């Protein structure tokens, strides 16, 4: 039964990506871990491929509609993709299986990474739900700081195996001043680049079940076309709120599951 729900979830991952431009990995990792019983490291690697491939199809559709700012996408993708690749290639494989013991309790690598995943989601949801009237203007002298921030975002994306839409969309809206729908389309292109290049770091160190991965991804790709169709009928402000509440709910669920279950 859980396996069936997992494959249904694959379709829903695509729908969420199509509607919100992010959040696919927020569903992908918990589905692979909690419903299909993959360990976190493999689940995060598979998530990069699933979300990256699905986002590629969504990017193509958004490009045809003129909903992608290609120049901004490249500016955001180059520093972050370097961080993603280095994180997947060198950092994640070298984290010890058990970080420390506290009496009879232990903090494992999987629990540690899942909690980081949940905390990042929690912070992202607060950012999306908070009404802000402050306009952030990027001055030329801040570009090196922005590059460093994007690189660190890439490291974080690599650690948790997320495409990063829940981090990238708020940044595109606040820093690049893109409207929500253009931020969504641009986010999908950045996610595609980050995820697929990040996955290359795993191919060299992880045994991949390609039959499962391609089947799951195909269902997710079907879902993104459904999501892109639904997106046309959703109000922009409501879309932002929906995205924020969705991330918040998933963050609370993961924290509860990892600490209290």
d(CA 166, CA 247): 8
> Can you give the length of the chain in residues?
261
The alpha-carbon radius of gyration of the chain (Å, integer) is: 17
| In 87-135, alpha helices (H) | 109-129
Chain-centroid distance of CA 80 in Å reads: 13
108 membership: H or E segment, kind and range: strand 105-108
pLDDT score at 218 = 95
pLDDT band at residue 195, thresholds of 50, 70 and 90?
confident
**Domain interval for residue 43:** 2-260
> Which tokens hold the place of 196?
């697929």
- Phi, psi of 103, rounded to the nearest 5 degrees: 65, -125
The three-state secondary structure class of 209 is coil
79 membership: H or E segment, kind and range: helix 70-86
Averaging pLDDT over each range in 86-90, 131-135, 233-237, which range is the top one?
86-90
Q: Which of 217, 179, 190 is nearest to 28 (CA)?
A: 217
Determine contact, residues 223/14, Cβ cutoff 8 Å.
yes
DSSP conformation class of 32: I
Which pLDDT tens digit goes with each residue over 152-161? Answer: 888 988 888 7
Going from the C-alpha of 258 to that of each of 78, 180, 251, 253, the distances in angstroms are 33, 32, 11, 9
pTM for the model stands at 0.80
d(CA 157, CA 151): 10
CA-based max dimension of the chain = 58
Which pLDDT tens digit goes with each residue over 196-246? Answer: 888 887 887 778 899 999 999 999 999 988 988 887 787 766 776 777 788
Q: Above 50 in pLDDT, residue 89?
A: yes
For the chain, how many structural domains are there in total? 1
DSSP conformation class of 92: G
The three-state secondary structure class of 99 is strand
Determine contact, residues 254/125, Cβ cutoff 8 Å.
no
d(CA 45, CA 255): 21
The residues, ordered by sequence, that sit 6+ positions from 258 with a Cβ below 8 Å of its Cβ are: 111, 114, 115, 118
Q: Which of 173, 169, 186, 250 is nearest to 55 (CA)?
A: 186
Q: Above 80 in pLDDT, residue 6?
A: yes
């Amino acid at each position: 039964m859980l396996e069936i729900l997992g494959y249904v979830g694959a379709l829903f991952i695509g729908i969420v990506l199509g509607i919100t431009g992010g959040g696919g990995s927020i569903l992908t990792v918990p589905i692979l871990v909690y419903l299909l019983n993959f360990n976190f490291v493999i689940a995060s690697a598979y998530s990069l491929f699933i979300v990256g491939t699905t986002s590629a199809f969504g990017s193509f559709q958004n490009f045809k509609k003129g909903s992608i700012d290609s120049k901004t996408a490249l500016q955001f993708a180059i520093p972050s993709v370097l961080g993603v690749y280095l994180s997947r290639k060198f950092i994640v494989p070298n984290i010890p299986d058990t970080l420390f013991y506290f009496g009879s309790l232990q903090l494992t690598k999987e629990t540690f990474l899942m909690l980081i995943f949940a905390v990042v989601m929690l912070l992202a949801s607060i950012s999306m739900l908070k009404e802000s009237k402050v306009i952030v203007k990027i001055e030329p002298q801040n570009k090196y700081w922005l590059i460093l921030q994007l690189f660190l975002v890439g490291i974080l994306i690599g650690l948790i195996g997320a495409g990063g839409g829940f981090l990238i969309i708020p940044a595109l809206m606040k820093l690049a001043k893109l409207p929500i729908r253009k931020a969504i389309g641009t986010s999908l292109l950045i996610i595609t680049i980050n995820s697929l290049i990040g996955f290359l770091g795993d191919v060299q160190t992880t045994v991949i079940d390609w039959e499962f991965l391609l089947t799951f991804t195909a269902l997710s790709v079907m879902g993104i076309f459904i999501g892109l169709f639904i997106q046309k009928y959703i109000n922009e402000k409501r879309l932002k709120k929906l995205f924020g509440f969705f991330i918040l709910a998933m963050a609370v669920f993961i924290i509860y599951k990892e600490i209290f279950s």
